[in-house]
Chain A
Amino acid sequence: MAQRITIDPVTRIEGHLRVDVEVDGGEVTKAWSSGQMYRGLENILKGRDPRDAWLFVQRICGVCTTVHAMASVRSVENALGLEIPLNAQLVRNMVQSIHCLHDHIVHFYALSALDWVDVVSALDADPVATAKLADSLSDWHGNSPKRFAAVKDKVKTLVASGQLGPFANAYWGHEAMKLPPEANLMAVSHYLEALDYQRKATQALAIIGGKNPHVQNLSVGGVTTNLFSENQTAVTMERLYYIKQLVEEVRDFIKMVYMTDVVAVGALYKDWLPYGAGVTNYMAAPDMFLDAAGTKADLPGGTIFDGDLSTIKPINTIADQYFIDNVQESIAKAWYDGDWSKHPWESSTDPKFTEFEDDGKYTWLKAPRFQGKPMQVGPLAQMVVGYAQGHERTVKAVDACLSRISAVAGVQVGPEILHGTIGRHAARAVRAGMMADLALEHWDHLVNNLASGDYEIFNPPVFPKGEQRGVGVHEAPRGLLSHWIVIQDGKIKNYQAVVPSTWNAGPRDAEGQLGPYEASLMGNPIADPERPLEVLRTIHSFDPCIACAVHMLDPEGKEMVKVKAL
């Protein structure tokens, strides 16, 4: 007999997300993803100064705390045809890459590890055996029996206190939890260490950004970070070397701990490798530009359809026509007025709430489509798109990760395992490592450019009469982000953000094509409908960010049925 499960709230994500699934014969047969909040920022921006937009839209999300800022200044610069100085491009690249390190570490440990790691089981682990296991996986200096014993004591004290706080009433002892106690203890120890390393990343970011979250060093036309090293108010060489040191420490944590833990989870949960693929159309934007004009990028962009690498079509520049021409947003199943599908420059965001209707409108999220197709975006999309193009850095990093999973799992696995729940985690860890390398390379580019005597950081924007349209594209930690602006006589006439979590968490469209979250849940096993841990695994693998994707719920405030026999 089929059962309906409603998970609301989905926790360990940013924002308010509700997921409904129908389970039949122990697996998911239907799914709905519903964003539960609407703020209307697009409407607030109308009539305002385009230079201010980035500070408003940055507040779309405090997790993706740099990305909307970046896409916004790019959209205005694109509308004005304004090129920024090379230093500004490189400082922005530092912001992008370092933020990414923070974001991916926090996502794996704070937001998703507890789907796979049983904290209570760690109490049964032997610290010496744990150290032996950890040593077999990496040379990380934190993996000592003493540390693992201390962490075990910490868990014991917490459990004995009877106040489990954020760890209360979760999925400990769930039959889908498969890690041996030693792997659980190792992961709990790394969970705590991750809190230190994410902080180091944000410190590096704050040195150039002024604070974090919500850096305050951008401006339409460049950056405000003063790089003139002859003055003490500037980010001097000493400060830049401080950034480098912090990033190196974080890079080591990513490569020796984060990547290793993902490999261990992937290998020890190899039964899970086939689950969670869903939509295998992928799209990524080029980013980490090496030139002021935004034509040469260290991260490749492109599209792939139906998981077929031979369909690769590149997206090459910061404002690529292939991308611009093919994006539409559908509101057929979203709580907005109408049922149109429109290009973002023509799109609007006028709320019209009805009800949660399984076959009608059921979310505040729109359904973005590319050439009419749902697309999956994010680190996985970026890896697949790079891999298909033979992008050297990507191929090398992905192959290294796959061979480590193969070694630990004891079976040979290839890139096909990337299409799935665990594949998304693997791709994110690979991307984190790549971004750490790139942060350091772009640090070099910046320092070399400064050494040549170039201190330029800003080209002032000038707003002509008439209408200008611009797009700002950015490869955020959660995937391809685009901001679309229409400027009229120096004021914002229309503004739309088409964000990664809208691509992934969006609903069905007029043709009934499922969004990526929904499609990825099909066929997921569900051992216990009362404790639907497996749904969380797949949803968390996307790194949901619903404030970004935004937009609700049930005006009657009806009693929500949690698990219902159909």
Chain B
Amino acid sequence: MADTVNTTLDPQLNRRGFLKGITMAAAALGMSDAVIPKMVEAAASGERPRVIWLHFQECTGCTESLLRSSHPDLARLILDIISLDYHETVMAAAGHQAEHNLHDTVQNHPFILVVEGAIPTKENGIHCMIAGKTAMEILAEVAPKASAIIAIGTCATYGGVQAAAPNPTGAVGVQELVDKPVVNISGCPPNPVSFLGTILHYLTFNRLPELDKLGRPKFAYGRRIHDHCERRAHFDEGRFVEQFGDEFHKLGYCLYKVGCKGPETFSNCPAVRFNDVDVWPVSVGHGCIGCTEPNFWDTMTPFYERLPQVKIPGTGIVADADSIGKKVIGVTAAAVGVHAAVGIGKGLIKGKGGSDEA
């Protein structure tokens, strides 16, 4: 057990492990080795930066994802790098003890806000309440005072599964309700590398990483799944799996015809892979479901039908891939209702945003 003791606790090896983590994160950010000492200094100096982590309409999968992170691992993250002042799944205090911790940090300290889960806006937000307040009210109290806001997961970024048609609760992502920059770490759940890379970037440079037009850090969401997929050569040569378990599936051919959404999905999955065991869904024979894209529950389904309009075999997929946002089918009526509800929510949050009594 020497390794566990040391990687967690021994100052020398701890530092080595920590440096490894920083290096990995720096690689994910596309930075050179020269920047590492600065990152270490930023991450290790003085008072640990405070983080408030709010849960709304969610499944805790994003938190669970962080539990799987190895660099830094959760113990190092919360004992050495940040001060996780409020996080319902992890914190020891409950009830009004927990509420006290939240309000103390919000009122008295700078903090980074992380939101996991969507915010229901229908019927004034009654579909998710904590300590007697709606998710909308809590966001209105906390978000205006945050020094940075990170939405983790496809629920907090774009509404996620509960926002799928007909979106019964009017669920939306944080950016719909907040008039500040929001970093969107999309994915269901996202790879912890993408989240940690963003946090460490912020701690180092005191600014958010460069974002794409959907608010996602370019270091993690700048390329299509398709661009780095190990099965890409099969796509280009027109070799496809026709059915799971068939001869072509056994040989690792392209999964496009059994529904892979890789050609229209922007994410680092094939590059950074998951759980430190060199896997991702395509490596176990299942297509990408497009989980980093807004509204993928409606635009990417049925999951086992091929994407329309992608030319096969060949390379001219760019034009079709860009049309993804226009493929929403059958959600127009629901969307109108949701937008109306969001209007109410925005008014609420703007109204309360600057006030200290919120």
Contacts and interface: CB of A to CB of B under 8 A. Distances in A.
Greatest chain B CB density within 10 A among A168, A242, A456 is at A168
Contacts of A532: 95
Greatest chain A CB density within 10 A among B61, B87, B130, B131 is at B61
B107 interface: no
Contacts of A62: 58-65, 189
B332 interface: no
A166 B50 CA distance: 11
Given A51-B302, A169-B97, A547-B58, A558 B132 contact: yes
A59 B187 CA distance: 12
Contacts of B133: 557
Contacts of B305: 49
A225 B282 CA distance: 10
Given A9-B94, A142-B1, A217-B284, A207 B279 contact: yes
Contacts of B50: 163
Contact of A52 (B88, B166, B301): B301
A271 interface: no
Interface stretch (B25-33, B200-208, B245-253, B315-323): B245-253
Contacts of A85: 245
Nearest to B291: A214
Contact of B4 (A142, A233, A234): A142
Interface in A1-49: 6-16, 36-41, 43-44, 48-49
A168 B101 contact: yes
A39 B91 contact: no
Contacts of A553: 126, 129, 132, 134
A119 B91 CA distance: 13
Contacts, number: 327
Greatest chain A CB density within 10 A among B9, B87, B274, B277 is at B277
A234 B252 contact: yes
26 contacts: A7-B95, A12-B89, A14-B59, A36-B129, A38-B128, A39-B57, A49-B303, A52-B302, A56-B161, A62-B62, A62-B63, A65-B64, A110-B90, A166-B92, A169-B101, A202-B68, A203-B68, A209-B284, A217-B284, A233-B283, A233-B285, A460-B243, A460-B244, A547-B58, A552-B129, A555-B126
B137 to A, nearest CB: 6
Given A210-B281, A214-B189, A553-B132, 18 more contacts: A13-B88, A39-B57, A39-B168, A40-B162, A44-B161, A51-B303, A59-B188, A142-B4, A144-B5, A166-B87, A166-B92, A168-B85, A209-B279, A213-B64, A217-B284, A231-B250, A233-B283, A460-B243
Interface in A104-153: 106, 110-111, 114, 119, 140-142, 144, 146-147, 150-151, 153
Contacts of B73: 195-196, 199
A391 interface: no
B60 A15 contact: yes
B223 interface: no
Contact of A222 (B57, B167, B244, B281): B244
Contacts of A512: none
A217 B130 contact: no
Nearest to B160: A59
B55 A16 contact: yes
A225 B7 CA distance: 33
A55 B303 contact: yes
Contacts of B127: 37-39, 351, 552
B252 A552 contact: no
Contacts of A147: 1, 5, 9
B286 interface: yes
A61 interface: yes
A221 interface: yes
A62 B64 CA distance: 7
A487 B14 CA distance: 55
A332 interface: no
Nearest to B94: A11
Contacts of A60: 59
Contact of B130 (A9, A48, A460, A558): A9
Greatest chain B CB density within 10 A among A60, A153, A216, A456 is at A216
Interface in B270-318: 274-277, 279-286, 289, 297, 301-305
B10 interface: yes
B47 interface: yes
Nearest to B303: A52
B107 to A, nearest CB: 15
Interface in A147-204: 147, 150-151, 153-154, 158, 161, 163, 165-171, 192-193, 195-196, 198-199, 202-203
A360 to B, nearest CB: 16
B183 to A, nearest CB: 20
A interface secondary structure, majority: loop
Interface in B92-110: 92-98, 100-101
B92 to A, nearest CB: 3
Interface in B173-209: 188-189
A395 B249 CA distance: 43
Interface stretch (B76-84, B213-221, B338-346): B76-84
A348 interface: no
Greatest chain A CB density within 10 A among B245, B250, B276 is at B245
A146 B93 CA distance: 30
Given A36-B129, A560-B131, A211 B280 contact: yes
A559 interface: yes
A59 B161 contact: yes
A224 B244 contact: yes
B240 to A, nearest CB: 14
A226 B137 CA distance: 48
A531 interface: yes
Across the A-B interface, the 8 shortest Cβ-Cβ residue pairs: A62-B61, A233-B252, A40-B168, A553-B129, A170-B92, A560-B132, A458-B245, A142-B1
Contact of A166 (B60, B90, B243): B90
A206 B275 contact: yes
Contacts of B89: 11-14, 110-111
Contacts of B75: 192, 195
Greatest chain B CB density within 10 A among A8, A51, A56 is at A8
Contacts of B120: 38-39
B274 to A, nearest CB: 4
Contacts of B156: none
A48 B59 CA distance: 21
B48 interface: yes
A345 B12 CA distance: 60
B324 interface: no
Given A165-B83, A351-B168, A555-B126, A63 B92 contact: no
Greatest chain B CB density within 10 A among A48, A140, A166 is at A166
A43 B221 CA distance: 31
Nearest to B70: A199
B244 to A, nearest CB: 4
A310 interface: no
